[in-house]
Amino acid sequence: MKVIIYADGGSRGNPGIAGSGTVVYSADRSTILKEIVYVAGTSTSNNVAEYNGLLRGLEAATELGATDVEFHMDSKLVVEQINGRWKIKHPDMQQLALAARKLIKGFNNFSLAWVPRAKNKAADKLSNDAMDAAAAGHPVGIVGAQAEGPPSAAQEGAGDVAPADEVTSAQADTATTAQPGDWRADRGPVTRFILLRHGQTPMSAARQYSGRANPALSELGEKQALAAAQALADVELDAIVASPLQRCQQTARAVAQGRDLDIETVEDLIEVDFGQWEGKTFAQASAADPELHARWMEDTGVACPGGESLQAVHLRVRRARIALCERFAGKTVLVVSHVNPIKSFVRQGLDAGPSVFHRLFLDLASISRVEFWDGGAVVRGVNDVGHMDGLR
């Protein structure tokens, strides 16, 4: 007998209220044989919740007498660890993996493959049902009619994990996610930022200073946003954050379309306040106050008249970046912002001085990539515009 299983897990807080969802289908996918909503704990990590989704699916397949199991999850970590390609150093993760492998040995054929989150919506919905149940006070265990008897030994060992342990787990496990040729040793949890500048607006087309002004994308800008979305279509994102201005929100929506992700607005990702220079061209701003404009071009501590300095932008973007690293350790985050906040991310990744603001060029709808971990960072790419070749 063959079954096809999809599972997912999540944690609101990481660690926090956590649960998993598992759907077991018949071999031809025409029939749902079992749906499992499982509360994983109230101080539990996302990774532990995902492992619970795997375990509940394996247990269900065993109970159904399956001999051939085709399993799908959108957790790269669980898939790679169970398939033996990533090491498992944390004791709690080792316990969960051992329980899973013991069940796997009972099948004649078993496969576990990664799928994009968009193709795992049924299990994702059940995992959210589990987190809702946990928030309502449901104890660790299966929710609803499926619950029969006390939790299994695997379930008993898969509940709450202390926050400090989860940090250790992430540090241990993400060391194995380095790309081929990456010579660094254990870096701990790496937060990967994909930095996307918004598409063209009428003001950018006219080469006007456009900071707090709020124009929409032009027709070309909409095409640029779509081209960037297509370039990122195969990239698994854990979060999308954007400046509050509509040109960034529009660009972010193009990427978010078809993904089960909300766009989070981060105020600190807004462009520099150009003050009295807003709407002026470079030449017009220079003509209005040649000395101040020249100083502003050389010194990031000099503020625009009635506006802010690039150093002030850098400080608030750095604050936002640190907060995002804490929230999304080991995750991939799309940041949709403006030229100067993105330059700040690159500057932080290079651990460089303020000259980056005046020496680095970033095209509209360009893609850059920067990674951060505790004590280090690396810039993997800057101003990628290959996706726009067909628009020129």
Catalytic (active site) residue 338: no
What would the DSSP string read from start to end of 248-280? HHHHHHHHHTTSS-PEEE-GGGSPP--GGGTT-
CA 90 from centroid of its chain's CA atoms? 22
pLDDT category of residue 158 using cuts at 50, 70 and 90? very low
Q: Which residues are annotated as a binding site for substrate?
A: 247
Catalytic (active site) residue 271: yes
Residue 184 has pLDDT above 80, yes or no: no
| Mean pLDDT calculated for residue range 222-226 | 92
Catalytic residue among 70, 166, 271, 371: 271
Residue 202 has pLDDT above 50, yes or no: yes
Which tens digits make up the pLDDT trace of 247-294?
Answer: 999 999 999 988 889 999 999 999 999 999 999 999 999 999 999 999
Q: Give the model's pLDDT for residue 390.
A: 62
Residue 52 has pLDDT above 70, yes or no: yes
Catalytic residue among 90, 198, 293, 387: 198
Residue 63 has pLDDT above 80, yes or no: yes
Q: What is the mean pLDDT of the chain?
A: 88
Q: Give the model's pLDDT for residue 233.
A: 83
Which tens digits make up the pLDDT trace of 75-85?
Answer: 888 998 899 87
Cα distance between residue 377 and residue 352, in whole Å: 11
Nearest Cα residue to 255 out of 242, 245, 266, 268: 242
Domains detected in the chain: 2-175 (3.30.420.10), 191-391 (3.40.50.1240)
More confident residue, 126 or 230: 126
Q: Give the model's pLDDT for residue 185.
A: 54
